[in-house]
Amino acid sequence: MAPTRPGDYHGEMSDNTMAAGVAPTASPAATAAISASANSTTFAVILSLSFCHLLNDMMQSLVPALYPILKDSYALSFGQIGLITLAFQCTASMLQPVVGMYTDRKPQPYSLMVGMGFTLVGLLLMSRADTYPLILFAAALIGMGSSVFHPEASRVARMAAGGRYGLAQSLFQVGGNMGSAAGPLLAAFIVVPAGQQSIVWFSGAAFVAMAVLFQVGGWYSRRRAESKVAAKPAARSKAGAPTTSPLSRRRVGFAIAILVALLFSKNVYSASLGSYFTFYLISKFGIEVQTAQLFLFAFLVGIVMGTIAGGIVGDKVGRIPVMWFSIVGALPFALMLPYANLFWTGVLAVAVAMIMASAFSAILVYAQELLPGRVGLVSGMFFGFSFGLGGLGAAALGQLADMTSIDIVYKATPFLLLLGLLTAFLPRHPGRPA
């Protein structure tokens, strides 16, 4: 059973007893019985969220998987490809913190379905878009779907975590990583042969996700009702418990700025691989589009493996060691990648993906602990920064590739990972390993 922490969200139950919605005055036998049931229920909720994250990000990942088709069909430049990425990622970036801040005050259990609906509409429109402005609009709608889905889903995952916040966030995040990995694979065998219109076939996944999220929304609503019942005796037993960060506002702001810099270095480099890796492989090694998509799939599978490992290790050894390893540890492999042959390019790309992916859950949980009671805002802000920084990076790297070459992009971007040295300035929480 995890102890109550200052970073726990004020409306959540941070231990197994409270997770069951039981007041502290309940008998030990009743508490144990209900806690066992609650653990099973909350684990199912986390896996349901992870599954829906998989479906959501699978649909979203079809957009970058379409880039080679869109580039050839509409004679787009690398800069225009980057702007498509910017359109759907920056929509999510701008709206996610707003959604998170609003739901911190007024949680919306069924808003998860609404977010999936935006993704569905954007995907349907993308399948029929025949002009560049319409493609940009469809991409922006898909970004709006993420802006609604991610902050509230992250809050529910933390609510169901039972104190193992790193594991809960990594399980939630890995669903999205698996969905992102599935996109290029589906594109290689379905979308590339059948064309742009074929992505409409995946709209059924959105309806499945909406049905699952309706059930999650019901659990969320019931959990909030139970929390209100248990909150009164819990408040009396924990009078004087801190509800704000033990650090000063200045130190919290400084730490948040460092975390954003870490995300910047991580996501801009990831954008160079996620958005342009297929083009790089085709240009340098002359392979077919389907083969290049398989290499991209392997890279995204590496992200899945790294995300799970990062969450588990972060709960055991602390967030800061994971951040050190994930940002700085990837640098040697990233520097070698532009000079490798085809086989070793694939190996190095997977290694970089695994190491860098371990950072996200550690960064997110660390930020949530810096700003207790602001789970929605923090989740929206950092998921938003992830999308937005990746979009800005993709657009900038596309312009750089147009002006020079795609090979120059892969030689220059690894040096961004040196920003990981800023981890040394992150404060440690009093009495905590991270």
Domain that holds residue 20: 16-233+244-425
Tell me how far apart the alpha carbons of residues 139 and 90 are, in angstroms, rounded to a whole number.
Answer: 10
Q: Does residue 316 lie in a domain region?
A: yes
- Note the pLDDT tens digit of each residue in 103-158: 778 877 788 888 888 888 888 888 888 889 999 999 888 888 888 888 888 888 88
SS3 content of the chain, % helix, strand, coil (to 5): 80, 0, 20
Rounded to 5°, angle at Cα 270 from 265 and 272: 105
Q: Given this model, what pLDDT does residue 10 score?
A: 39
- Please enumerate in sequence order all residues whose Cβ is within 8 A of that of 38, keeping only pairs 6 or more positions apart, or say none: 16, 19, 20, 21, 162
Give me Rg for the CA atoms of the chain. Answer: 22
Tell me how far apart the alpha carbons of residues 307 and 358 are, in angstroms, rounded to a whole number.
Answer: 5
Q: Does residue 434 lie in a domain region?
A: no
Q: Amino acid identity, residue 361?
A: S
- Note the pLDDT tens digit of each residue in 95-105: 777 777 887 78
Question: Distances from the Cα of 80 to the Cαs of 126, 273, 362, in angstroms?
Answer: 16, 17, 33
Residue 259 · residue 363 · CB < 8 Å = yes
Tell me how far apart the alpha carbons of residues 125 and 312 are, in angstroms, rounded to a whole number.
Answer: 39
- Note the pLDDT tens digit of each residue in 283-295: 889 888 878 888 8
Count of domains observed in the chain: 1
Q: Amino acid identity, residue 397?
A: L
Q: What is the mean pLDDT of residues 24-28?
A: 45
Q: 3-state DSSP call for residue 231?
A: helix
Tell me how far apart the alpha carbons of residues 217 and 227 are, in angstroms, rounded to a whole number.
Answer: 15
Q: Does residue 2 lie in a domain region?
A: no
Nearest to 358 by CA among 333, 391, 325, 400: 325
Q: What is the domain-level CATH number for residue 110?
A: 1.20.1250.20
Tell me how far apart the alpha carbons of residues 124 and 15 are, in angstroms, rounded to a whole number.
Answer: 42
Identity of the highest mean pLDDT range in 15-19, 162-166, 370-374, 403-407: 403-407
Q: Does residue 290 lie in a domain region?
A: yes
Question: Distances from the Cα of 118 to the Cαs of 38, 92, 114, 140, 309, in angstroms?
Answer: 32, 11, 7, 10, 31
Q: Given this model, what pLDDT does residue 240 score?
A: 40
CA within 13 Å, CB half, 57: 22
- Note the pLDDT tens digit of each residue in 182-194: 776 777 778 778 7
In three state form, how does the secondary structure of 362-382 look? HHHHHHHHHCCCCHHHHHHHH
Q: Does residue 389 lie in a domain region?
A: yes
Percent of the chain with pLDDT over 70: 82
Residue 48 · residue 210 · CB < 8 Å = no
Q: Is the pTM of this model over 0.85?
A: no
Q: Does residue 381 lie in a domain region?
A: yes
Q: What is the mean pLDDT of residues 222-237?
A: 61
Tell me how far apart the alpha carbons of residues 304 and 307 are, in angstroms, rounded to a whole number.
Answer: 5
Task: Record the tokens describing residue 49, joined without a space.
Answer: 């969220």
Q: Does residue 7 lie in a domain region?
A: no
Question: Distances from the Cα of 379 to the Cαs of 122, 161, 200, 429, in angstroms?
Answer: 23, 15, 30, 19
Tell me the residue ranges of DSSP E strands in 170-232.
none
Residue 296 · residue 277 · CB < 8 Å = yes
Q: Does residue 239 lie in a domain region?
A: no
